[in-house]
Amino acid sequence: MTKGELRKDVLKRRAAMIPEEVAEKSSTIVNKLISLEEWRRAGTIMAYVDFRNEVRMGELIRHCLAVGKRIAVPITDIAGKVLTPSEILHYPEDLVPGAWGILEPAPGCVRPLEPGELDMVVVPGVAFDLNGDRLGYGGGFYDRFLPRTKPGTVFLAPAFELQIMENVYPGPHDCPVHILVTEQRVLRF
């Protein structure tokens, strides 16, 4: 199976999940995630804003705001192929549809952070393997962004168990994650 076929297969299976299943499994994953020691130590976090049946991040973002963690979400520059973390203070009020219809900070709510300020990046993905390798959506945005963070920044991926594959065919520029959290387990690499 090629990367493209794998991506298409996993996205099709994820799209078939009913909203109640996505909500229930997302809540289980977020609760596991916020109980991790790495999470407790992180003061400044960037999380993706979920789209198309990804693990839902609203509960996580609200939790950050409630407990006083700095939380940023990415602004996507499609032309420059760059992600910029932007701190949000109100969720979801600070956000409007941006690149590909994914919610991003509204023009008056852009508060850019340097990648080096982040203690943790919550990374989206299509599929993951048991080595922490990640198959993204094909644009390379996170594979270009993650190396710009400081040493010691934790890359954490929330994923549904159906996204765990034997092999995601990582390339030389693909950035693996340090922690993978599913509704059934927490894996550290």
CATH fold label, 3-188: Rossmann fold (3.40.50)
User: Do the annotations mark residue 49 as ligand-binding?
Assistant: yes
CA separation for the pair 69, 44 (Å, rounded): 6
pLDDT tens, position by position, 38-64: 999 999 999 999 999 999 999 999 999
The residues, any chain, with a CB within 8 Å of residue 52's CB and separated by 6 or more, are 11, 14, 15
Average pLDDT over residues 82-111: 96
pLDDT of residue 101: 92
Q: What is the pLDDT of residues 3-31, one digit of tens each?
A: 999 999 999 999 999 999 999 999 999 99
Helix, strand, or coil (residue 83): strand
pTM of the complete model: 0.97
Q: Are 166 and 133 in contact (CB under 8 A)?
A: no
Tell whether 152 is in a known binding site: no
What is the structure's pLDDT at 117?
98
Cβ partners under 8 Å of residue 99, min gap 6: 76, 77, 78
134 is in an annotated binding site: yes
pLDDT digits 0-9 by tens, 75-90: 999 999 999 999 999 9
Whole-number pLDDT of residue 99: 87
User: Annotation-wise, does 4 bind a ligand?
Assistant: yes
Instruction: Tell me if 100 sits within 8 A of 51, measured CB to CB.
Output: yes
Q: Is 33 annotated as a binding residue?
A: no
Contact (Cβ atoms closer than 8 angstroms) between residue 71 and residue 88: yes
* 47, 73 Cβ separation under 8 angstroms: yes
Annotated ligand binding at 6? The verdict is yes
Q: What percent of the chain shows pLDDT beyond 70?
A: 100
Torsion angle, CA of 94/157/149/71, rounded to 10 degrees?
30
137 marked as binding residue: yes
User: Is 156 labelled a binding residue?
Assistant: no
Domain ranges in the chain are 3-188
Mean pLDDT, residues 89-93 taken together: 97
To the question of whether residue 171 is assigned a binding role by annotation, the answer is no
34, burial (CB in 10 Å: exposed 0-12, middle 13-18, buried 19+): middle
Note the pLDDT tens digit of each residue in 119-163. 999 999 999 999 999 999 999 999 999 999 999 999 999 999 999
So what's the pLDDT on residue 1? 86
